Each structure stands twice: as structure tokens, then as C-alpha cells.
Amino acid sequence: MEAVEFPKPVEYDREMQAVLLESIPASLDLRTQNPTIYRAWMDLLAEANSSIEIAAFYFTLRDSDLNVQDPSSQQGKAVFEALRALPARGVKLSIAVNSPPLSVNDTDELALHGADVRYVDMTRLTGGVVHTKLWVVDGKHIYLGSANMDWRSLTQVKELAAVIYNCSCLARDLHRIFAMYRLLGEDGASLPASWPGDLAAESSLGRPLKLQLNGTNAELYISSSPQPCAPRDALRTSPPS
């Protein structure tokens, strides 16, 4: 297995902040005060300075994948264009996506422009799929949510997500999950009898991270499943002795 690289700890340049995000179908007259997932994605893409890591079920950000022309695909296309421009800006774009993919049009083009794309055949390994939707940006900002990397998830489907800014400790744990997917995407990869110690989570149910979030004391941890894909420490139910 390749060596796992971890983002260096960073100093917080502002308060750790969590923001709830939504996508509301364009056909619904439903007012919400929460920012949209599209807006959060575009902000993260604009602010990225060094790296973006994305784990996804599939990529279909353009309506051309479906051989249609739909005005509601404009947001997805804007996200795709911003992703494609990252390597030229000096921002490393790394992707882990389920295999076999529903479509390779987006990921192939992103790879042609410098993205590092890894396909993960989770069906062969566990009988399931990579259904995660996560971003880790600059080793300090994270996104988790229900929205696929699909233009319809931005304008046609009700989705819920959250972005947390300036939380490098939580970002490191999310990066570990991403790194696990990348390892499983290597040629001939198999589930190890035990995961490398550097993939063990800093946080768990019994050992949550204690921090200030939106100015309030909070306890947080990241969990993953299924169990064979969860390094042991992430499954602890009580603090280690």
C-alpha cells in the first residue's frame, strides 16, 4: 500500500464554524434561511489554496451526461468548471469514486486537467458501494452531506448537508476515511487484516473531540462503516485505557 499523507495541522484563522446547508428543488416554493449546497461548494472551491479531497458515489455535474439540455444544470456545470480549474491554480484535486462508475465523462476530463482520480470497487471488496459524499479542503474545512456530485442534487432534489470551517482536527479524521478509500482503490487492493495505525481516528464515540463550535462547547466525532472499513479506534465505545 502507498504511504498515507496527512495534512499538516494549521492555525485557525477564524472561529470554528458549522453551517447547515440545503438544496431545495427549483419547482418548490419553499423559503429557507440556510445557505445552499451549491453556494457552499463554490465558496470552498474559491477559497481553496492547496488541496481538495472528494469522495463520491459518482460524478454527473453536466447535463450532457444524460444527453439532455436542462437550464437547471447550470449550477452543476459551474461546479465542474471550478473543479477543472483547480490544478491550474496550484490546488491539488484528489478524488475517490465508486467503481464501476455510472459515468466517467466528468472524472475522465478532470483527470485530463490534472486531477488524481482513484476508482474504488467496493462491491468486490465488501459487497457494497462507496456512498460517501465528503470534501476535505486545505486540511481544515470539511463538507458532509446527502448530495451527490450531480447537477440534479443542486436544483432538483431535496438535500441536506453541513460544512465546518477551520477544524483541522476533524478534517484529519475525515482525511483518514478518504485515505482508506484511496488505498482500496489501488490495483489489486484487498481489505487488510488490520489497518495501518496512522489511519486510526483521533475521535470516536467514547473519545469525542471537545472544541468550541459556533462559540458553543461541542463534542464531535466522525464514524464510518461497514466495520471492515473502519480502523479499530474509530469503533471504540469507551476511551482507551
Helix (H) or strand (E) holding 164: strand 159-165
Per the model's pLDDT, the better-predicted residue between 21 and 64 turns out to be 21
Which tens digit of pLDDT belongs to each residue from 73-97?
Answer: 999 999 999 999 999 999 999 999 9
pLDDT bin (cut points 50, 70, 90) of residue 149 is very high
Q: Which of 110, 139, 148 is nearest to 23 (CA)?
A: 148
Per the model's pLDDT, the better-predicted residue between 30 and 197 turns out to be 197
- pTM score, whole prediction: 0.88
Question: How does the average pLDDT of the chain come out, rounded?
Answer: 87
Contact 29, 14 (CB under 8 A): no
Task: Give me the mean pLDDT over the 124-133 stretch.
Answer: 92
pLDDT bin (cut points 50, 70, 90) of residue 233 is low
Q: In whole angstroms, what is the distance from residue 138 CA to residue 163 CA?
A: 13
On the question of pLDDT at 201 being above 90, the answer is no
Q: Which residue bears the cell 495541522?
A: 9
Q: Which domains, from first to last, does the chain contain? A: 17-194 (3.30.870.10)
pLDDT at residue number 239: 33
Q: What is the dihedral sign for C-alpha 138, 143, 149, 152?
A: negative
Which tens digit of pLDDT belongs to each residue from 100-124?
Answer: 988 899 999 999 999 999 999 999 9
| β pairing state of 141-145 and 149-150 | unpaired
pLDDT bin (cut points 50, 70, 90) of residue 231 is low
